[in-house]
Amino acid sequence: MSNSTPEPKYLRMQRDAHGQGYRLEELKGGTPVGKGYVRFVCISDTHQHTAGLRLPRGDVLIHAGDFTNCGYRREIENFGRWLGSCHFPQKVVIAGNHELPFDRMYMRPGDYENLGIGSDEEVSQLLGDCTYLQDSGAMVQGFKVYGSPWQPAFCNWAFNLTEEEQLREKWDRIPSDTDILITHGPPRGE
């Protein structure tokens, strides 16, 4: 990760004229958001490099995975503390391929203990006050948000699926009326 923070891109998401979907419009950096709008700030792949990270103001912070290097207890707790210090009314998090203990299928006997974690039930609690999504959804500021950490196989990390059919099964679970989809890898492997 680079030491400099890229300039944020501001997009306005509005329902289309028929109420069937949304359209995105890029805004200039200082454009104020009018009443009835929600500002989502989306980040990912911070890999424990959150010190000094400048985030634009927003209503919802979304972290799309890889907030740790391997998922050690101290890494998750550090991220949870940082997340708690972020001034957003709501925070939504999904795991990425580096969050090993969040993937129960990846973990083997003794792995939780080696990472300093008592059990798989404890893992998401270490994040603190946020909405953690893993093949699940939540209403966030009036939007139906769904999160899924799965991705096509990439090295030997968590949430990797090698078969196209396995990925399709995960993607088929995404409700068709989802407004905002959060994935760590490309949706549908494309």
Please report, for the chain, the start and end positions of each structural domain, with discontinuous segments joined by +. Answer: 10-27+36-189
The pLDDT tens digits along the chain (190 residues) read 445 555 666 666 666 666 666 666 776 666 666 777 888 999 999 999 999 898 988 899 999 999 999 999 999 999 999 999 999 999 999 999 999 999 999 999 899 999 999 888 899 999 999 999 999 999 999 999 999 999 988 888 999 998 889 988 998 999 999 999 999 987 654 4
Of 91, 41, 99, whose CA–CA distance to 67 is shortest? 99
Give the separation between CA 99 and CA 123, rounded to whole angstroms: 10
For 89-118, b/e burial (b = at least 16 CB within 10 A) is: ebbbbbbbbbbbbbbeebbeeeebeebebe
Q: Which residue has the tokens 């391997």?
A: 70
Q: Which pLDDT score, from 0 to 100, does residue 115 have?
A: 95
Tokens at 69, concatenated:
């290097």
- 164: Cα separation from own chain's centroid: 22
Give the separation between CA 190 and CA 48, rounded to whole angstroms: 27
Look up the CATH architecture of domain 10-27+36-189. 4-Layer Sandwich (3.60)
Find all residues with CB under 8 Å of 165, minimum gap 6, and list them.
Answer: none
Give the separation between CA 16 and CA 25, rounded to whole angstroms: 11
Q: Reduced to 3 states, what is the DSSP secondary structure of residue 67?
A: coil
Sign of CA dihedral 16, 39, 187, 112: negative
pLDDT tens per residue across span 24-45? 677 666 666 677 788 899 999 9
